[in-house]
Chain A
Amino acid sequence: MKQLSVDVAVIGGGPAGLAAALSARAEGAAKVMIIERNHELGGILQQCIHHGFGLHRFKAELTGPEYAQRFINEVGNTDIETLLETMVLEITPDRKIYAVNSEHGMMEISAKAIVLAMGCRERTRGALQIPGTRPAGVFSAGTAQRYANIEGYTPGKRAVILGSGDIGLIMARRFTLEGAKVEAVVEILPYAAGLTRNVVQCLQDFGIPLYLKSTVIDIHGKDRVEAVTIAEVDDNWNPIPGTERVIECDTLLLSVGLIPENELSVHAGVKLDPVTNGAYVNEHLMTTVPGIFACGNVLHVHDLVDNVSKEAERAGMYAGRFAMGTLSQPEKWVKVVPGENVRYVVPHEISLTEPVEFFLRVQRPAEDVVVDVAGLRTIKERSVRPSEMLNIKLTPEQLQNFTGDTFVIAVKERKEAEIQ
Chain B
Amino acid sequence: MNKSIICTVCPMSCNVTLELDDNGEIISVSGNRCPRGKTYSIKEHTAPERTLTTTVRAVGGVHPLLPVRTDKPIPKGLLLQAMKETAKITVKAPVKMGDVIVENFLNTGANLVASRDL
Beyond the given A63-B115, A196-B8, please list 4 additional residue pairs across the A-B interface where CB-CB is below 8 A: A46-B116, A61-B51, A66-B116, A388-B11
Determine if A124 is an interface residue (Cβ-Cβ < 8 Å): no
> Counting chain B CB atoms within 10 Å of each CB, which of A49, A149, A152 scores highest?
A49
In the complex, per-residue mask of B16-35: 1 if CB is within 8 Å of any chain A CB, else 0: 00000000000000000000
Q: Is the CB of B83 within 8 A of A178?
A: yes
In the complex, how many residues of chain B place their beta carbon closer than 8 angstroms to a beta carbon of chain A?
Answer: 26
Q: Which 3 A-B pairs have the closest CB atoms?
A: A196-B13, A65-B116, A197-B8
Which of B57, B62, B65, B116 touches A39 (beta carbons < 8 Å)? B62
Q: Is the CB of A49 within 8 A of B57?
A: no
In the complex, per-residue mask of B91-118: 1 if CB is within 8 Å of any chain A CB, else 0: 0000001000000000000000001110
Q: Which of A192-232 touch B at CB < 8 Å?
A: 195-197, 199-201, 205
Q: Which of B1-47 touch A at CB < 8 Å?
A: 6-8, 10-11, 13
- What would 15 A/B residue contacts be, using CB atoms closer than 8 Å? A46-B116, A63-B53, A63-B115, A64-B67, A65-B97, A66-B116, A69-B97, A69-B116, A69-B117, A152-B64, A152-B65, A177-B83, A196-B13, A197-B11, A201-B8
* B interface residue numbers (CB < 8 A to A): 6-8, 10-11, 13, 50-51, 53-55, 57, 62-65, 67, 69, 76, 79-80, 83, 97, 115-117
Residues of chain B within 8 A of A40, CB atoms compared: 62
Q: Is the CB of A151 within 8 A of B83?
A: no
Q: Is the CB of B65 within 8 A of A149?
A: yes
A51 to B53, CA, bound (A): 7
Q: Is the CB of B67 within 8 A of A65?
A: yes
A150 to B61, CA, bound (A): 12
A359 to chain B minimum Cβ distance, whole angstroms, is: 15
Residues of chain B within 8 A of A199, CB atoms compared: 6
Q: Is the CB of B62 within 8 A of A196?
A: no
Residues of chain A within 8 A of B83, CB atoms compared: 177-179
A63 to chain B minimum Cβ distance, whole angstroms, is: 5
In the complex, per-residue mask of A65-89: 1 if CB is within 8 Å of any chain B CB, else 0: 1101100100000000000000000
Which of A42, A152, A304 touches B11 (beta carbons < 8 Å)? A304
B56 to chain A minimum Cβ distance, whole angstroms, is: 10
Closest to B44 in A: A200
Q: Is the CB of B53 within 8 A of A200?
A: no
Residues of chain A within 8 A of B62, CB atoms compared: 39-40
Q: Is the CB of A200 within 8 A of B8?
A: yes
Residues of chain A within 8 A of B6, CB atoms compared: 196-197, 199-200
Q: Is the CB of A151 within 8 A of B116?
A: no
Q: Is the CB of A149 within 8 A of B115?
A: no
A57 to chain B minimum Cβ distance, whole angstroms, is: 13
Determine if A327 is an interface residue (Cβ-Cβ < 8 Å): no
Closest to B7 in A: A197
Known contacts A50-B53, A69-B117, A200-B6: A63-B67 contact under CB 8 Å = yes
A150 to B6, CA, bound (A): 31
Determine if A392 is an interface residue (Cβ-Cβ < 8 Å): no
A49 to B65, CA, bound (A): 11
B28 to chain A minimum Cβ distance, whole angstroms, is: 20
A174 to chain B minimum Cβ distance, whole angstroms, is: 8
B92 to chain A minimum Cβ distance, whole angstroms, is: 16
Q: Is the CB of B8 within 8 A of A66?
A: no
A195 to B14, CA, bound (A): 12
A148 to chain B minimum Cβ distance, whole angstroms, is: 8
Closest to A306 in B: B11
A205 to B67, CA, bound (A): 22
Residues of chain A within 8 A of B53, CB atoms compared: 49-51, 63
A200 to B55, CA, bound (A): 22
Q: Is the CB of A195 within 8 A of B11?
A: yes
Q: Is the CB of A51 within 8 A of B69?
A: yes
A63 to B67, CA, bound (A): 9
